[in-house]
Structure 1
Amino acid sequence: MKTDPYTLEIIKNALVSIGDEMFQTMARTSMSPIIYEALDFSVGITDARGELIAQGQGTTVLLAMIDSFVHDILAKFGDAIRQGDVFIGNDPYRGGGTHLSDFGIATPIFHDERLVAFAVNKAHWLDVGGAVPGSFSTNATEIFQEGIQMPICKIVEGGTLRQDILDIIVANIRVPQESVGDMWAGVAANGVAERRLRELFDKYGHDAVLRAKDELLDYGEAMVKHELAALPKGVFHAEDLIDDDGRSDEPLKVMVKITITDDKFVADFTGSAPQTMGPINNSRTGLTSAVRLIFKAITNPQVPANSGSFRPIEIICPDRTVFTAERPAPVSTYWETLMYGVDLIWRALAPHLPDRLGAGHMLSVCSVVFAGSHADTGKSTILVQPLVGGWGGHQGKDGESGQFAAADGETYNVPIEITEARYGVHVDQYAFHDEDGGHGEHRGGKGVVLDYRMRTDDFVVTGSFGRFKYPPWGMAGGGEGSPNHFDIIRADGTHEVHGKVTGAKVAKGDVVRMVTATGGGWGDPARRSKTALREDLRNGFLTADQIDRHYGGIDG
């Protein structure tokens, strides 16, 4: 039987709104700014088989983490899943895997004693142990240095907290109050989904909701295939170089072959570098997220994310590459490689989809960790946050300035007021920079410069800024963007410039300057209008010297 279209629409929107309500609950009840300010998490619901029904707002790198996490739960626990259970895990190599800092929490949902769904969230915890505060480094050589590993287990069993499991977690992390608080925020968000889904089943009945769910997945597939039909057909290639793995200065070559047919989108990463000793390795689930992300962007971003909407995707990649790493490879800065999975497809298709894809953007999350004593309270503190930067120029418009990388999605910066109050550092400046790069008829969007001045002598700093050596690519004759970089300006005037740094000691009066990329330019700079150049000069996006060198001057 078909569900009538009016009821289907009501149930469909109710399912999507459940994801949105989960998202708001998580943000409002968490204890860490990385969650309630930066929104570095994702939420969603699956059916009893682990098929993604709806995914709320959140970080786009987690687009494959919700359903794959549930698939692992079903494979491991099978008939031992009971009402009142809550599962937890952070295994990077299994379903839902990213790096150890991202903990998944899943709650099975029952109706009339039948398993009907799972509510899931995955969130970045401030610290999960390991060799350095913040639990990511740029020079780890194996997963054991990166923090506590939690294969999927029950943190709540039949409604009762597993105190032994919680004790293990608390004993292995540096800031248990914040991290455990975020864990309970995740449990609360899942609880909201559980209540709303039961209400939906009570109101419309078991069979009607399940029929509507199946039709919703089929609708997602049909909508995406309609968009797929409009894409150019054929085989498209791209390759690039990752700066390094954090342990060696050697670049890593990565590549993709995209095949688009009327009903398939095949991404083949065969030939990419093998997994490496440094921590830029990415999991196969992460690669799936990368492909889903760019596929959604070039088809129809407005179609709700569900398993149906991703059915046309096929991913090919051998095991044990930098895109499909296996234990015990370190993975704490996995996002650097995951984003190359996005960017390679972007680069391959941009010339054929100029109305949808521009030149290269900042790519890296440019994530930083500051750990030390608060200058005013003396308490230990850990600051974790991503940074904004520039996107590439487009056909017909300049690139966007001061935006998060495509990996971040519904993410925000931590406000200066929160940074200074919570972490005891002083913010000297937060502004767009005018570094050379991104020149074109439509220039790349500008990156930012953000200066933190230390107020105590015991801080250590870790940062991973990809595209330090290989800036964002230009398009249609546009120039390369400027690189991401991480500078330490000592109180004695010495100046260090890094792409990656782990546990660097900084003292009172030292300034940590974080500079993000300007996006690649689009089109010949000689064709940029004089009006636009005058505006660039007035706004400080370009200097008079840059206009003379790259554009022939305003009056030329």
Structure 2
Amino acid sequence: MDSIELEILWSNLIGIVTERAKALQRIAFSPVVREAGDLACALFDQRGRMVAQANTGTPGHINSLAIAGKHLVSLFDGKCEPGDILITNDPWLSAGHFFDITILTPIFRDAKLLAYIGSTIHHTDIGGYGIGAGARDVHEEGLWIPPLKFYEKGKPNETLHAIIRQNVRTPDAVFGDFSAQVSSGQAAADHLIALCERYGLEDIEALSDEVIRRSEEAMRGAIRKLTPGTYHGESSFDVPGGDVITLKSAVTVDADSGTIIVDFTGSSPQTNVGINVVKNYTHAYSTFAVRSSLNPDLPNNTGSLAPIEVRAPEGSILNCSYPAPVNARHVVGMYVPMPILKALHQVVPDRVLAEGSGAVWTMQVQGSRASGEAFTSAMFNYSGGMGARARKPGLSATCYPTGVAAVPIEILESAMPIVFDRKELRRGSGGAGRERGGDGQIIQFRLNTEAPWWLNAVPSRLDKGPDGIDGGHSGASGRFRVNGEDVNSVRKLAMNPGDVVVLETPGGGGFGE
């Protein structure tokens, strides 16, 4: 396949998945999808290999979707018919917790399977405990949907739909998001069929082979430029409840084969609160850290991910075993790049960041309106400061590595009885250095309700701020207060009318003396 033909076809593929991702975002019901972009959309070939991903989405979803798609294609190989749509939120097969639901649509032209289009989004509610870390095992956390057919021959699986509707608090919002995923997948199918007809393609297998081959060769080429060896990094941070988690990475560069092995042996064991991480999610953020440091312009697909191997001992906090609770897995998962970047600093010192604030601070409120109608917010996120770069300061109120934005407070106030009194940068919270870390932010809110309400809050770094690098200073640690009192709890908080919540997110570490 010559380069011009490949570029034309590749541009079409990227256009299809990106257009569908943006359409999904526009029509989604959940604010965390519609406003914050907590989603992923990707195209898979007949063998379940991710060929192209949209240019919008979050690393934790995108690279987990690559694995989820492969699992679903393997499980339903030869069992799909036109009009079938597949679904799962199995944490160990997909994105790591029940809220992230993957929909995979087989694309048929007449009776011939062409490819698959898949999406993963964070849903408003999935029953159970909620987004917090307080559940004692995975079964307390919500509804577990094994790999099933969500639609069969174009008709809804009525039994499955009824089970889901009965087990969530906000079924209209949940099924509104399902409709967004299903309709965007169907539109993508129409566009891919049109592409094949326009260019005389029987399927996309030859195109997929070429894209994946070139992507893998380019990634191996970037790795071969590095100095061979094993490099170590370590990151420690406190989590809800005050426990300290340590992540250790050994990054081995094999220049002969063009591979990198990231080994997390020695990291903390899994815990009894819902911050454990499945290996898919660990793999997603590990590959993101390596790729963004070495060759960020490469297409993100099965080819460019293939040269990066991720290892984590089973039963560790980065490869937890069933039935570990996982609903707040992002609290640890978003720290995965930090020890990798510290290791890569020894190889490519000008391409990495100092430690940032880590995970976004996730909030979820539940209660009843004056009318008695129940409400449940989708999670809304607040970032601390990003770590400084070698030649630029860290960005304020910006969380590396996630791509999730904050839901605007106007949207939240219009959707539920919440009032924000304060939202501003936390000046001076970034660590000093040749380049300064980004500042965190201060947010104050309360609920305008006469009834008690519940708060799921998942802050981290309340005791220890992010490390600087290369002589840079640490960023400030965070604070979480209710009615002026510091709180550090893993459990869902029972709140009263008039209670005031104040968040002060951490600042990023500085870079250089």
TM-score under structure 2 normalisation? Answer: 0.94
Native 8 Å contact 1:141 1:278 kept in 2: yes
For residue 351 of structure 2, what is the aligned residue in structure 1? 356
Q: CA deviation at 1:376?
A: 8.8
The one of 433, 440, 447 equivalent to 1:440 is: 433
CA distance in 2, matches of 1:346, 1:500: 29
Q: CA deviation at 1:114?
A: 2.3
Q: CA deviation at 1:500?
A: 4.4
CA distance in 1, matches of 2:66, 2:437: 36
CA distance in 2, matches of 1:463, 1:185: 28
Q: CA deviation at 1:32?
A: 1.6
Which structure: larger Rg? 1
Native 8 Å contact 1:265 1:314 kept in 2: yes
Native 8 Å contact 1:70 1:106 kept in 2: yes
For residue 431 of structure 1, what is the aligned residue in structure 2? 424
1:63 pairs with 2:56 = no
CA distance in 2, matches of 1:13, 1:383: 34
Native 8 Å contact 1:365 1:386 kept in 2: yes
Q: Letter of the aligned partner of 1:416 in structure 2? A: I
Native 8 Å contact 1:375 1:424 kept in 2: no
**Residues 220 and 500 of structure 1: CA distance in aligned 2, closer, same or farther (over 3 Å):** farther
For residue 225 of structure 1, what is the aligned residue in structure 2? 220
For residue 9 of structure 1, what is the aligned residue in structure 2? 7
CA distance in 1, matches of 2:479, 2:49: 40
For residue 123 of structure 2, what is the aligned residue in structure 1? 125
**Residues 111 and 228 of structure 1: CA distance in aligned 2, closer, same or farther (over 3 Å):** same
1:417 pairs with 2:415 = no
Which residues in structure 2 correspond to 1:57-456 (within 5 Å)?
Answer: 57-94=56-93, 96-131=94-129, 135-207=130-202, 209-244=204-239, 246=240, 249-262=242-255, 263-374=258-369, 380-406=375-401, 408-409=402-403, 411-434=404-427, 436=429, 438-456=431-449
1:466 pairs with 2:464 = no
For residue 479 of structure 2, what is the aligned residue in structure 1? 485
Deviates most, 352-361 or 276-285? 352-361
CA distance in 1, matches of 2:72, 2:126: 22
For residue 554 of structure 1, what is the aligned residue in structure 2? none
3-state DSSP of counterpart to 1:482: coil
Q: CA deviation at 1:354?
A: 2.9
Deviates most, 368-377 or 344-353? 368-377
Q: Letter of the aligned partner of 2:244 in structure 1? A: P
Q: CA deviation at 1:119?
A: 0.7
Q: CA deviation at 1:362?
A: 1.0
**Residues 224 and 137 of structure 1: CA distance in aligned 2, closer, same or farther (over 3 Å):** same
The two structures, once aligned, show a CA RMSD in angstroms of 1.9
Q: CA deviation at 1:276?
A: 1.9
The one of 20, 23, 32 equivalent to 2:21 is: 23
Q: CA deviation at 1:151?
A: 0.5
1:520 pairs with 2:500 = no
**Residues 299 and 375 of structure 1: CA distance in aligned 2, closer, same or farther (over 3 Å):** farther
Native 8 Å contact 1:200 1:209 kept in 2: no
Q: CA deviation at 1:379?
A: 5.2
- Unpaired segments ≥5 residues, structure 2: none
**Residues 380 and 78 of structure 1: CA distance in aligned 2, closer, same or farther (over 3 Å):** same
Native 8 Å contact 1:375 1:455 kept in 2: no
Q: CA deviation at 1:323?
A: 0.8
Report runs of 4+ in structure 1 exceeding 4 Å deviation. 374-379
For residue 551 of structure 1, what is the aligned residue in structure 2? none
Give the % identical residues. 29
1:475 pairs with 2:469 = yes
3-state DSSP of counterpart to 1:116: strand
Native 8 Å contact 1:287 1:341 kept in 2: yes
